[in-house]
Each structure stands twice: as C-alpha cells, then as structure tokens.
Amino acid sequence: MLVYRIALAKYSGKLMASGRAARWNPNDMEMIYTASSRSLACLENVVHRNQIGLTMAFNVTTIKIPDNINISNIKITDLPPDWRDFNQMPLTQSIGEKWIIEKKSAILAVPSSIIDEEINYLLNPGHDDFKKIKLVTTMPFAFDQRIKQ
C-alpha cells in the first residue's frame, strides 16, 4: 500500500516524527501522520495552516507499507459522534497513546476528521515493523494559490 505525507521540505527527507501533540497523540509521543491520497494529505495541511503558511517550501512523500504488515483500525463507529471537536482531543490522543505504548502494530488506520469516508494512516516509529516501511519518493509540492485567498 502507498500512503502520502506533505511536510515542510526540510523535514521530508526521512520518516521522522516531531513528537508535538496533534489529534491522535499527546506531546512527546512520536507518531507519523500519513494519508491514503495526496489530496487528503493536502486537505489535512490546509485545515491546519493559514495562507502565508501554505507558501513555504513543502514536499510530498510517497511511503510504501508492505502488504504483510499488520494494520490496527479505529472505525468511525468506534468513536463518539463529536470526536472531531477540539474538546475531544484528549480522547483521541489517549487512543493513539495507548496504541503507541502497546505496540500492537506499526500502522493505525483512523478516519479522517475532514472526510468521513477517507482514511489516515498513523505510523509508529517505535514498532519493530516500522523498519519495513520505506520512503519511496520525495517531490516538491506547492499548494494552489487559490486556497485560502
């Protein structure tokens, strides 16, 4: 399976996590966020950045996840109806933290908070199978100037 990540160019040469808190991880818990498509990776960035932030140098990376790697799943039906709300972040962060700590898999499939039917794939750099996941390509990526005009 191929997954995609759009990141600042200076951070896109390796598969690495910042450890900064986000929807599925608290601070100091390393997790790499990827998306099932380039377009979803684009939307995930757009919702978190202002127009000026979108003009920085970005790259899109293509990441290969071997078919024999176990993938854990969080389905939208496993979550409360308001799981996207900011005040529910402690819930989703605790789910992600538990997954990282338990090391049941190197990949966690979670619903996109933007489009219900789309999937984001979270990578656990601390799992033994993580070393099987490979960064395939890195290419420059520019957000369309019409976004957030």
Q: Which of 147, 93, 141, 137 is nearest to 3 (CA)?
A: 137
Is the model's pTM score more than 0.75? yes
- How far separated are the first and last CA of the chain, in Å rounded? 34
Q: Which of 143, 140, 132 is nearest to 15 (CA)?
A: 132
Residue 67's SS3 state is coil
Whether the per-residue pLDDT at 110 is higher than 70: the answer is yes
Question: pLDDT category, 148, cuts 50, 70, 90?
Answer: low
DSSP E strands in 36-128: the ranges are 58-64, 71-73, 107-111, 119-123
Return mean pLDDT, the chain: 92
pLDDT digits (tens, 9 = 90+) for 32-83: 999 999 999 999 988 877 666 677 889 999 999 999 999 999 999 999 999 9
